[in-house]
Structure 1
């Protein structure tokens, strides 16, 4: 961090003083650090109970939030657990019984833990809904409402969303009281020092050869290739391996243990290229990914900021 981003300058204080907040912000704005910094100030570390709950659309994002909270709260001795599907249920129960100040999870597993009375909600002060539009797109609306019903009436709500469709506004009217609204414009995305290029390819079947040409030409530390379907991920992975490129791949149909292993291998530098869907695109940070991070058949180009 060199200086606070636009959203950090505007949103941290309202959250700290206890206001409900609606922040319309894209990936790449520094939003995760925004609410992580704010919620850490609300914690009573001497009370080993869940005081902040964050909900995210993907398991990877929930884990990323956990890592940010633990990193920023290192000297506070904060306890933060990622509560996500596809992982060992017994481990979740053990961790929650031990006591966690912050729980970062996906709506399905979090609601399951609440129903089992393993995740106790009586001390929760803040609910963070990260990438709320994506959670609704993935069909989590009912589970979000179910979770909210178990929270104390005075729970502060922080909602972060790239877009604000009718369903989001309906949710804010039910969950929030006089919220502060913050809009981060597209030109305020954190793109300093980042160069973006595109290659215009006239036909779909030419994309693979163009991609191979780029990899033969450029010096790449590590790169991520985003595809717009899981089938495209599998197809491209097979084609690149046939062309003797060493690549790994990941998408939402893979078991959680396999996805975790692939992420660990990529972060450690075992693989130079990761082919994936937008399960990885939003809010995930790997420092060593180089400037030649590539995009294959994008659906939402504004979400893919890379460094």
Structure 2
């Protein structure tokens, strides 16, 4: 069975739905256009995930939707399929506008839309900072497009210049809506909202002429209240916070004891676990470059991704990683939501996210995509990181155990680890003797003791 058909990792009871909503167990039962179905099957989908079963038809019916579900459950395909079904190809004007917080995510959405609409006469363009220039984008838009995907800043600029016209808009989609607010984009979103087509109803109230679809992996209460104000009688499909820990993804930590031993622990991890592709997250641009350089010296094929790369460089990095030309991607949080590569089997938090706990979810969600099995391993080296790991456990109400002796087996099965997971309180009492991997780290320290000063100097460069 294709892995795309196994995305239905969440059960019916995991969802909180604001009203009775019919489920559609197959794409064919949704009454989709034949050529859209061809695109869906060609992309690799066989069976809709649970959020797709519940939500796609609501979008097709023109309802406003607020949807929250974990990474890897098919949120992008949900709004893509729903909005593509409603497009009238003969009208070569913008009918769908999709906003994303980052260039990387906008490009990824554009890729999904273009693939799913491969057999449709639908034209989609991406508008975001750093990609071509405004004049080139304006020329593309003037040729007539049906779907625009972009970042709020660039879309608003093109709106103000009159290059983007929304008179025929049918759907506005806000993807990773919480992140757009976290990035201070509320004013831009509200101005775009005010420019949407509308009319005065019989009761003298302004009503929008398009639907609003809001999707995200996380949705804090304060954000949810704001988006309710954006929508009219929305269907709300929400997954409780404690369910957002990614079925099929095993999570562990390794206490390396000291910052200077993280690199050796990473080497040991790679030698004990065989995966197709890995994403390693660190917290600074300098450490991205440093770690990529160190791994390259060890003979690994590595790519580095951070916010200072220009668009051409970013696309080159992702092309290398998607094609398998490089098997390890070192990344900052800038890319935590824009990496959608199905073969990622391992995510390593070389550094834990220290400023935003929700980034932990988005990081580890790069693995176990579409129902596949994956691993997430976090390194902790000091009291601050131990405290942060406890905060993550408390926030999501989960227990993250120390790495077991045979991590490689975790990639073969979705079964739970046989050792008893540590509770949140026990976690703070754990030490380096908790697992076989910690013993490997100790052995590496002994073998490389004479290089300790050199290694410490290297780490000081990137602190």
What's the TM-score once normalised by structure 2's chain length? 0.62
**SS at the partner of 1:111?**
helix
Deviation of the 1:156 alpha carbon: 0.8
Match of 2:159 in 1: 114
TM-superposition CA deviations, 1:196-240 (whole Å, max 9, x none): 444333333322110011223333432211223333323322333
Query: Which structure would you say has the larger RCO, counting Cα contacts within 8 Å and 6 or more residues apart?
Result: 1
Over the aligned positions, Cα root-mean-square deviation in angstroms equals 2.1
Of the candidates 76, 82, 94, which is equivalent to residue 50 of structure 1? Answer: 94
**SS at the partner of 1:146?**
helix
Of the candidates 223, 228, 231, which is equivalent to residue 172 of structure 1? Answer: 228
**Aligned 1:154-233 pairs, distance under 5 A:** 154-161=209-216, 162-173=218-229, 175-185=230-240, 187=243, 191-192=247-248, 194-233=249-288
Match of 1:282 in 2: 337
2:102, 2:361 → 1: CA distance? 19
Of the candidates 135, 147, 155, which is equivalent to residue 102 of structure 1? Answer: 147
2:318 is equivalent to residue 263 of structure 1 = yes
1:78, 1:295 → 2: CA distance? 40
Q: Which one has the largest radius of gyration?
A: 2
Q: How many residues align?
A: 304
2:128 is equivalent to residue 72 of structure 1 = no
2:285 is equivalent to residue 240 of structure 1 = no
Deviation of the 1:283 alpha carbon: 5.2
Of the candidates 348, 351, 358, which is equivalent to residue 297 of structure 1? Answer: 351
2:293, 2:235 → 1: CA distance? 48
1:269, 1:53 → 2: CA distance? 32
2:168 is equivalent to residue 123 of structure 1 = yes
Cα 1:283–1:26 change in 2 (3 A) is farther
Runs of 5+ unmatched residues, structure 1: none
1:252, 1:301 → 2: CA distance? 18
**SS at the partner of 2:326?**
coil
TM-superposition CA deviations, 1:115-141 (whole Å, max 9, x none): 111111111111000111101111211
1:190, 1:97 → 2: CA distance? 42
Match of 2:138 in 1: 93
1:24, 1:222 → 2: CA distance? 27
Cα 1:168–1:231 change in 2 (3 A) is farther
What's the TM-score once normalised by structure 1's chain length? 0.91
Cα 1:107–1:20 change in 2 (3 A) is same
